[in-house]
Chain A
Amino acid sequence: MDFSLTDEQRMLQDTVERLVADQYGFEERRGYMKHPQGFDPAIWGQMAELGLLGVPFSEEVGGFGGGAVETMLVMEAFGKGLVLEPYVASVLTAGALIADAGSDAQKSEILEALVGGELRLAFAHTEADNRYSETLVSTGAEKQGGGYALTGEKVAVLHGDSADKLVITARTAGEADDAQGLSVFLVDADAKGVTVTGYPTNDGLRAANVKLDGVQVGADALIGEEGQTAELIRLTLDRGAFAVCAEAVGAMSKACDITLEYIKQRKQFGVPIGTFQSIQHRMVEMRIALEQARSATMKAAARLQDGTADERRKAVSAAKVQVGEGGQFVAEWGVQLHGGIGMTEEYNLPHYAKRLVMIDHQFGDVDHHLNRFSAMMDMPESA
């Protein structure tokens, strides 16, 4: 067993942590949010320069060749700074999907520009009635001429309003929840028939609803094999879930630090409130929740890197449950232990609390992942 990082990994971690420490002060972040995209394009450019946009991609397209551990390091640091940039949308979900299944032409067209910071993507899967399902897709793609016509509506597409191209899941065959017949398309955000309605989210990020009204695409818009992409979609959603788990670990650790500092310094009844045992124990429980979430996320990293699909799915679900419950615990008690100040927009802690709670609304909530885990749970032979 060796939990230590390689030299390269440590360098990556230093790079990201420095970027966050230097550029992501709480007040600066407030300024970035005012950009119409909801983040500062200049920071996106810096991320490109530092090589961060290529972390999971192969060296051929200018990437770093990193795996899940590298992703985890980046996302944890981002979580500490509540980074606003569309890293999960562009790089870790939509980008990674193209790297996995895209044609050579798609890879060279998209990934190099993505790594260079010139192009952004978003992954459009969720629909109003599919909640967190991986395979329940109603958006349809009908064969038309040499290509397809896409019709349907995607909701809560993370950073969908700042993406140049959308990676969209659609049904080319089968019904409702069938795993067979799911396909993935690459569509220009400004193509005819695409309507993108962007909005801020409750945690200060951005998302969009994407309406597709008979959008015409060529056969070359297909990513992967027609009708055979259920596993690709599952993997992409798992990568997204894992990424926000690592982000949550960063946000939880920062929320714990802020709260610990506060209870040492805030005095009531003539003493720091951190001297009250009920507060001490709560703070201890917050730290335990953090460590449990971290451990589950590390296990998911390992399984993403070298596990079977089932092992990966189980470990990602376990992590998402730990993070969903533990993150909410840290968020709620972080606010409570602060008293009134923990309720305010002006103070940093509540922003961590909001992000931690809203993470449960992305890539499957606690119930979804509990359900998925329990279906795969090992059972004794006698049972």
Chain B
Amino acid sequence: MDIKFTAEEQAFREEVRAFLKAKLPKDLSEKIRTHRQLTKDDIIRWQKILYEQGWGAPGWPKQFGGTGWSPIQKAIFAEECALAHAPGQLPFGLSMVAPVIMAFGNDVQKERFLPRILSADDWWCQGYSEPGAGSDLASLKTRAERDGDHYIVNGQKTWTTLGQHADWMFCLVRTDPNVKKQEGISFLLIDMKTPGITVRPIQLLDGSREVNEVFLENVRVPVENLVGEENKGWTYAKFLLGHERSGIAGVGTNKAELRRLKEIASTEMKNGRPLIEDPAFRARVARLEIELEALEMTDLRVLAAVQQGTSPGPEASMLKIKGTEIRQELYNLIRQASGPQALAYQPEAIEDPEADYIGPEYALTAAPVYFNNRKITIYGGSNEIQKNIISKMILGL
């Protein structure tokens, strides 16, 4: 057993650090550090900087313009980005639809879509969930009927993250209603400018506007936008889930937030002393750090196995559960640390980094970020569903 990084991996870490120091715009890192909202342009700007460096797609093979990095390198990159407060890369194109196109798409689709994902010229959103199909995704009802060279799509998608900015949506649709529910689903790429598409924003409990309902009414989608074979969409979706999960533990982000929690608790005063000196609070921070250290090792164990060729199976479910629980507890403690001043709700200042606000900077976003992050145990396969997977696949129950 040797749990140190190799010299090459260390050198790689230094290279990533130097790049971030030179190229990460201060206004973006400041927004991330203080949990402000990113604009569409912010996210595109950062993707283009990475793209110019040749690091636009850490997860892709070299032949498509990716980095070809090893799993450990990808983890190092993600961690350094998080610690430097770099914006996250938009996952929908890069790590959700692209792997499916690479594996199952035709050459025309690869040439048409992949480069524009890499360069952030196309913004993608994920059209899976429907009002009646959440955890039970395979029961989705949105219909696609063949009409000559087109599919006519009718139905409704919901919870579509950042769909308001999207140029394209990858979508699961029902092409055969007369077979077992998993067997009649297809994977379609839909241009969001097509007539018949209406996007309605859904406001979340913290006031943010990041999800949408997408209504599809007689939307004509060219048959060439079908990925792979008709009625094989469920297989592709399951393949995608494997990809959605690499980096799912969010160790880097959790470390960055732990650091922030410690800073806040050193600033906030309790009975005339910094809060972090309160033994009860300090013990809770320590408990969380112990959990996070263990999660980091679990994550590295899985990565090392992947590096040796095993694919991350149900273990990824464990990483998702623990990673999200730790993240939620971090935001919980940040909220609690902020004390009475966390009461104030000042959405204008969260959106506009130039706007005035009252109270300390950390209290501004403490409660909204805590509330917003209740989502992470719901989406991407809820934690209950992840536990069902573990009990079935690992425990054989």
Residues of A within 8 A of B (CB): 126, 128-129, 131-133, 136, 155-156, 176-177, 197, 199-203, 207, 209, 267-270, 276, 278-279, 332, 335-336, 339-340, 342-346, 350-351, 353-354, 357-358, 360-362, 365-367, 370-371
Contacts and interface: CB of A to CB of B under 8 A. Distances in A.
Interface of B: 129, 132, 134-136, 139, 158-159, 202-207, 211, 268-272, 275, 278, 280-281, 335-336, 339-346, 358-360, 367-368, 370-371, 374-375, 377-379, 382-384, 387
Nearest to A156: B340
Given A202-B345, A278-B384, A361-B342, A339 B374 contact: no
Contacts of B368: 202
Contacts of A202: 206, 342-345, 367-368, 371
Nearest to A336: B377
Contact of A131 (B129, B205, B280, B340): B340
Contacts of A360: 336
B345 A129 contact: no
14 contacts: A128-B360, A131-B275, A156-B343, A197-B358, A200-B345, A268-B139, A340-B159, A345-B203, A345-B204, A353-B371, A354-B371, A357-B371, A360-B336, A367-B280
Give me the 4 closest cross-chain CB pairs, A-B, nearest first: A350-B205, A268-B136, A345-B203, A156-B340
Contacts, number: 138
Contact of B382 (A133, A136, A200, A339): A339
Given A177-B272, A365-B336, A367-B336, A336 B374 contact: yes
Contacts of A371: 280
Contact of B358 (A199, A279, A354): A199
A156 B280 contact: no
Contacts of B374: 332, 335-336, 342-343
Contacts of B271: 131, 133, 136, 177
A343 B375 contact: yes
Contacts of A343: 204-205, 374-375, 378
Nearest to A368: B270
A140 B82 CA distance: 44
A335 B346 CA distance: 23
Q: Which of B159, B344, B358 has the most CB of A within 10 A?
A: B344
Contacts of A207: 343-344
Given A131-B270, A343-B204, A362 B378 contact: no
Contacts of B158: 340
Nearest to B159: A340
Nearest to A155: B341
Given A269-B135, A340-B159, A345-B204, A155 B359 contact: yes
A268 B135 contact: yes
A268 B204 contact: no
A269 B135 CA distance: 8
A367 B283 CA distance: 12
Given A128-B341, A343-B378, 17 more contacts: A131-B339, A131-B340, A133-B271, A136-B271, A136-B272, A156-B341, A176-B272, A197-B358, A202-B345, A202-B368, A209-B359, A339-B378, A344-B205, A345-B203, A346-B202, A362-B343, A370-B280
Residue of B204, B340, B360 most packed against chain A (CB within 10 A): B340
A242 to B, nearest CB: 18
Contacts of A276: 384
Contacts of B272: 129, 136, 176-177
Nearest to B374: A335
Given A201-B343, A268-B135, A344 B204 contact: yes
Contacts of A335: 205, 374, 378
Contact of A340 (B129, B335, B339, B341): B129
Contacts of B387: 278
A367 B278 contact: yes
Contacts of B344: 156, 199-202, 207
B267 to A, nearest CB: 10
A377 to B, nearest CB: 14
A367 B279 CA distance: 10
B370 A199 contact: no
A45 B139 CA distance: 52
A203 to B, nearest CB: 8
B185 to A, nearest CB: 16
Given A156-B343, A199-B345, A346 B278 contact: no
Contacts of A155: 340-341, 358-359
Contacts of B383: 336
Contacts of A345: 202-205, 207
A365 B339 contact: yes
A359 to B, nearest CB: 10
B56 to A, nearest CB: 31
Contacts of B358: 155, 197, 199, 209
B13 to A, nearest CB: 36
A365 B281 CA distance: 12
A362 B202 contact: no
Nearest to A332: B374
Nearest to B372: A343
Given A197-B358, A357-B370, A361-B340, A344 B203 contact: yes
A340 B378 contact: yes
B378 A131 contact: no
A371 B275 CA distance: 13
Nearest to A129: B269
A361 B204 contact: no
